[in-house]
Amino acid sequence: MGSSKIKNVVFDIGNVLVRWGPSEIVRLTFGDAKATEELAKSIFQSEIWLDLNKGLISEADAKSQYQSSLGLDEFECERLFYYVKQTQILIFGSVDLLKRVKAAGYNVYALTDNVHEIVSHLKHEYTFWSLFDGTTVSADLGVLKPQPEIYHALLTQNQIEASETVFIDDMPYNVVGAEACGISAIQFENAAQCEDDLKSLGLSF
């Protein structure tokens, strides 16, 4: 470890460690419809998806509600959630970055807005989940980023100090939310940029 005050590095999951592409999921599920963006919003920015991320409903509940609210059929819902999971491929360089940060002696954690069934899939499909010293998942808490409660839960659950922690997320408002709670934060673009930004904070790995 270097001379930085940072001891803890916290990773978001979607679009930091694995790809998350709602429009891509919709195109794969329904074809190249003209209304791809609108349909993606109606699915992934809906109360149904938010409730799923908060752990208030199950994937099966969500499928049923999408059939009722959007007129999707059972097969379309099965295909949708197949692609929700199967499109979450590893982002180039990110797991290697996670491993090198951990090997250098920093504590590594996950903070993610995520669904129970997706987390189970990622644990089964990839090996990176076991690298974390702790994980804070929205579906376990019923709150989402950038609500301050989820950042406080991260700190409390893992008994870590905000001033000794940096959070990596692809969304600017989640970065701002972390900073509002006293946590240093980096907006992720790619693994090389993220590594440079971590080192600019004084981390050594």
Task: Show the tokens assigned to 55.
Answer: 């752990």
Cα 68 from Cα 37, distance rounded (Å) = 20
Beta bridge partners of 189: none
pLDDT tens-digit series, residues 152-195: 999 999 999 999 999 999 999 999 999 999 999 999 999 999 99
For the record, the structure tokens of 171 come out as: 């969304």
pLDDT for residue 127: 96
Structure tokens at 174: 């989640």
pTM over 0.75: yes
Q: Counting beta carbons within 10 angstroms of the beta carbon of residue 26, is it exposed (0 to 12), middle (13 to 18) or buried (19 or more)?
A: buried
HSE-up of residue 153 (Cα within 13 Å, Cβ side): 20
Contacts of 104 (CB under 8 A, 6+ apart): 1, 203, 204, 205
pLDDT at 25: 96
Residue with structure tokens 């709150």?
143
Locate the DSSP E strands across the chain: 8-11, 107-112, 134-137, 165-169, 184-187
> 12 and 168 in contact (C-beta within 8 Å)?
yes
84-126 residue pLDDT tens: 999 999 999 999 999 999 999 999 999 999 999 999 999 999 9
CA dihedral 62, 63, 64, 70 (to 10 degrees): 100
pLDDT tens-digit profile of 23-72?
A: 999 999 998 766 888 999 999 999 999 999 999 999 999 999 999 999 99
Cα torsion angle, 159, 175, 127, 149, sign: positive
Please answer whether residues 77 and 66 qualify as being in contact, where contact means their C-beta atoms are separated by less than 8 angstroms: yes
**Three-state DSSP state, 148:** helix
22-30 vs 74-86: helix crossing angle, rounded to 10: 140
> What is the structure's pLDDT at 34?
67
What is the rounded CA–CA span in Å between residue 14 and residue 11? 9
What pLDDT sits at residue 4?
75
